A = this chain, B = another copy of it.
Amino acid sequence: MTEPDATPTPDASFSRRGLLGLAAAGGIGAVAGLAAGAAIASAPDATGGTPASARYPFFGEHQAGITTPAQDRLHFAAFDLAPDATRDDLASLLADWTEAAARLTQGLEVGEAGAVGGSPYAPPDDTGEALGLPASGLTITFGFGPTLFGTADGVDRFRLAARRPAALEPLPRFSGDALVPERSGGDLCIQACADDPQVAVHAIRNLSRIAFGRAMLRWSQLGFGRTSSTSTSQTTPRNLFGFKDGTANIKAEEPDAVAEHVWVSREQGPEWLVGGSYLVARRIRMIIESWDRVQLAEQEALFGRTKGEGGPMSGGGEFAAIDLAATARDGSPVIARDAHVRLAHPETNGGIRLLRRGYNFVDGNDALGRLDAGLFFLSFQNDPEHFVTVQRSLASDGLNEYLKHVGSAVFAIPPGAHEGDSIGDTLLN
């Protein structure tokens, strides 16, 4: 598990700037020593937020950034390996990314010389815009897309075809898909979550830079507001329809549910992916201008929850169980047949639950003056088919009138690396 240590250590003085001073006093070795030993994280504070100084261990059984309490901001990036990249290039890239991610998540700069050390006649190791900022709860999560295991011009690109998990297939086409290739797919992905967007952006920028010549950014997405809670310590945020939608999400405090739905088990396999997961990413444009003209009663019926408190239309507060069987006097269901909460509910989907970790986005506006806004949906599950089942169930979702899926990708999320190893070692070695 990638939970923070139980001991809270709100440590605002532990920042990149502080370390610069330390490096000057004790030499570069002092920083390196601290980096290796640093796995201190503070517990979330009482309001469910995390103090800016929160640090989560990078190494562990599972990758961080999945059951970690969802941070406020996101920078997500998908990469393609260079056309001439070799298996050795892939291995060296993953080793370099691992080393950098282990430092960045501890609030350190990339490379021991950082942004202002080393030779003045060399480019700095680190780009510098996070100098002085604390770790801000940064987690960095790596994934492998189906194309990484594929062939190009008839050649097994990285000699991985035989190791492709059977479940790692491009997602099928869903009704209502309007996918844009430039916002879909990718050989590799990196999810960077942090409570400070500058820290998340700094991570993706530096990891992209490290990839230079070996892999290239294919698409990327910033998210400004989390739409799900992954811990009972967090309040439920709202999506851009103005509703709470993550109330029934899997929480880190439900270890049985996490084990059952999120982590790939030995029985599921393949062996190299045990303790890992699958990530589905969907860029869902919301037609908010049309939504904003919908009557409140219809908005609530379409969701199946009240807009204010977020309680189910079948009664009770936000966390009340949804009663899908409840009927009105006239015999009609209280939770409408096309209500979002009904179609997404585990009861409707054979018990399937997804761990959602999505973010709100706004990327300017279109030529008609409508905000290019929506939900960057992220879900972790131990079989992509679980997402497919739920998404097919949502085909009759009344909300679809106000949604357009424009980006889509699926990635296998390898297990965490142990210190001294690299992400992907279980696949490549």
Residues of A within 8 A of B (CB): 12, 20, 47, 73, 75, 115-116, 118-124, 126-132, 182, 197-198, 201, 204-205, 208-209, 212, 216-222, 224-225, 235, 237-243, 288-289, 292-297, 299-300, 306-308, 360, 362-365, 367-371, 373
A127 vs B402: C-alpha distance when bound (angstroms): 14
- Residues of chain B within 8 A (CB-CB) of A116 are 296, 306-308
- Residues of chain B within 8 A (CB-CB) of A119 are 295-296
Contact across chains for A132 and B242 when beta carbons are under 8 A apart? no
Contact across chains for A118 and B296 when beta carbons are under 8 A apart? yes
By beta carbon, the residue of chain B nearest A114 is: B308
- Residues of chain B within 8 A (CB-CB) of A220 are 362, 364-365, 371
By beta carbon, the residue of chain B nearest A20 is: B308
A201 vs B360: C-alpha distance when bound (angstroms): 10
Q: List 9 contacting pairs A-B, 8 Å CB cutoff, sorted by A.
A: A116-B296, A116-B308, A119-B296, A123-B293, A126-B242, A128-B242, A129-B241, A132-B235, A222-B224
- Residues of chain B within 8 A (CB-CB) of A205 are 240, 288, 371, 373
- Residues of chain B within 8 A (CB-CB) of A308 are 20, 115-116, 131
Asked whether A364 and B363 contact (CB < 8 A) given A197-B224, A238-B132, A308-B131, the answer is yes
Which 9 A-B pairs rank lowest in CB-CB distance, beginning with the nearest? A128-B242, A120-B297, A116-B308, A216-B369, A217-B369, A197-B224, A198-B225, A129-B238, A116-B307
Cross-chain contact of A362 among B75, B294, B299 (Cβ < 8 A) = B75
Asked whether A362 and B222 contact (CB < 8 A) given A128-B243, A371-B205, the answer is yes
Centre residue among A47, A224, A300, A308 by max chain B CB count within 10 A: A308
Contact across chains for B73 and A224 when beta carbons are under 8 A apart? yes
Distance in Å from the Cβ of A224 to the closest Cβ of chain B? 4
Cross-chain contact of A129 among B124, B240, B363, B369 (Cβ < 8 A) = B240
A20 vs B308: C-alpha distance when bound (angstroms): 8
Cross-chain contact of A360 among B127, B129, B242, B243 (Cβ < 8 A) = B129
Distance in Å from the Cβ of A67 to the closest Cβ of chain B? 23
Contact across chains for A123 and B20 when beta carbons are under 8 A apart? no
